Amino acid sequence: MGSFLTPLLASDRPNIVLIIADDIGWNDLGCYGHPQVQSPTINRLAEEGLVFDHFYLTTSSCSPSRASIISGRYPHNTGAAELHTPLPKEIITFARRLKEAGYYTAQAGKWHLGDAAKADFDVIHDKGSEIGDGGEDMWVPSLRERPVNQPFFMWFAALDAHRPWGPNPFSGTHKPEEVVPPVYLADTLPTKIDLARYYDEITRFDHYIGEVEKELSRQGVLDQTVIIIISDNGRPFPRSKTRMYDSGIKSPLIIKWSKGIDHAGKRSKALISAIDIAPTILDIAGVDIDDSFQGKSFLPVIVSPEREFRNYAFSEHNWHDHEALERMVRTKDHVYVLNLRPNNSQNGPADSNSSDSYRDLVLLKETGRLNAAQADVFLAPRPYEELFFPADTEQLHNVAADPKNREILRILRLTLSQWITETGDTHPSSLTPDWYNKENGKALDINRTRGEMPGGVDAIFVNSKGPF
């Protein structure tokens, strides 16, 4: 399709449904190996479609991640690199290009991108009780209200599984006594209850994906619709959300497309970045890809999953409740993290810091019983550089100081430096400071002001893709 396959006739253009989870970790789904989380719909779609094992976000922070996905640009190139900052009107979204090409474009659920980009959608459903507790109530109605004579694009964004968690129809699906916390969380009942309630929200998210699929089938358009499932960042727990580790920056990516994928159940090992979603969707739709999109289309990988794609994926950690400035480059063989605020601890976002899981870690800290992974939550100062190898899947063992890694460290430093220079990244001395207490998640009694944002006002006009 598009530039890779035979050009599309207008009548042949596929419909596209992009479904975005809120704070769901990449391996908290059955199709990614979780032994307990109930995600039957997503698991089946994975068996019927294509699963990507190396899909990485550009940041582990809600609104900057979504801004990056919809624009195909790195956070510092969007003008919205920090949490709760809106996309400027100058930023082109792939939804705009689809709308201009004759697609009906609709949004339902969490928005979090400001007002300017709303003009790129024919319909927006993002308000209050209309979207439901999990943000999914308007997904099926949005499909039903669409015009029947246009191809369509749907941006369906859940609130699941963002904190806080209340009761829902799937509460109790997961039994706390059966939960096995990751090594960096406490093995305690309150933490297990916290995780079980998080898993219940994943099951609700999964259920609504099934409802969307049923409606597409009822309308007779399922086979000509591309369904894409991703998350905006990692799970909302300590050492996950906002981190540059896989627990924060890696996302599930599942694509079902009956007419475009003839190798159901396969898994791709290609390295994919979230900035590649936008150009890929445009490519699928047969729409030209602007220079403003810093990502590249991985449609060739969808067609041939055994193909390689990227050599590098880049990510950044900017302000999310707390001052931060990190940059990361990843290859298939290494993870390199540069921390430009090493004196700051990385306890996590405010909602996570007010959780039972965080309080259990604090209790372990107070009694001197933290393991090394748990202690990392409170560590300050932190390493200026971190280097990890693939076998270290949880990024627990920093080997940057090992002399035998000097050469790979040199190469990764140069690669990251090249990306910083070519994409117009900046590292201001006056960043947005902490707005919340790291020890309990409560708002600080301060005058809230924004500092200088990485990239400044100039980087939104920089279209360089950096190393690929």
Is position 2 within any domain? no
Q: What is the pLDDT of residues 52-67, one digit of tens each?
A: 999 999 999 999 999 9
Shared domain check, 349 and 253: no
Q: How many CB atoms lie within 10 A of CB 304?
A: 12
| Amino acid (1-letter code) at residue 445 | D
Burial class (CB in 10 A: 0-12, 13-18, 19+), 271: buried
Shared domain check, 422 and 379: yes
Is position 264 within any domain? yes
DSSP assignment of 99-116 equals HHTT-EEEEEE---S-SG
Burial class (CB in 10 A: 0-12, 13-18, 19+), 25: buried
The three-state secondary structure class of 82 is coil
CATH of the domain at 235: 3.40.720.10
Q: What is the pLDDT of residues 163-190, one digit of tens each?
A: 999 999 999 999 999 999 999 999 999 9
Contacts for 7 with CB less than 8 Å, ≥ 6 apart: 286
Q: Which of 310, 326, 344 is the last residue of a domain?
A: 310
Shared domain check, 306 and 320: no
Contact 325, 318 (CB under 8 A): yes
CA separation for the pair 79, 166 (Å, rounded): 34
Contact 271, 298 (CB under 8 A): no
Is position 8 within any domain? no
How many distinct structural domains can be found in the chain? 2
Shared domain check, 104 and 160: yes
- What pTM was computed for the model? 0.97
CA separation for the pair 48, 210 (Å, rounded): 13
Shared domain check, 392 and 362: yes
Shared domain check, 113 and 240: yes
Give CA 176 to chain center in angstroms.
26
Is position 80 within any domain? yes
**What is the 8-class DSSP label of residue 454?**
T
Q: Which of 261, 283, 310 is the last residue of a domain?
A: 310
Residue 391, domain extent:
314-461
pLDDT of residue 90: 96
Shared domain check, 320 and 225: no
Supply 47's token pair: 């068996």
Q: Which residues of the chain, if any, have pLDDT below 70?
A: 1-11
Q: Which of 294, 310, 326 is the last residue of a domain?
A: 310
Sign of CA dihedral 204, 29, 233, 200: positive
- Average model confidence (pLDDT) for the chain? 96
Shared domain check, 227 and 95: yes
Shared domain check, 133 and 272: yes
Contacts for 268 with CB less than 8 Å, ≥ 6 apart: 50, 51, 52, 53, 54, 301, 305, 306
| Amino acid (1-letter code) at residue 144 | R
Contacts for 247 with CB less than 8 Å, ≥ 6 apart: 25, 182, 184, 234, 235, 239, 240, 394, 395
Shared domain check, 365 and 296: no
Contacts for 252 with CB less than 8 Å, ≥ 6 apart: 21, 24, 26, 29, 31, 32, 42, 51, 52, 55, 229, 230, 231
Is position 5 within any domain? no
Is position 1 within any domain? no
Shared domain check, 336 and 286: no
Shared domain check, 446 and 378: yes
Is position 285 within any domain? yes
CA separation for the pair 374, 302 (Å, rounded): 38
Residue linked to tokens 């993290």? 337
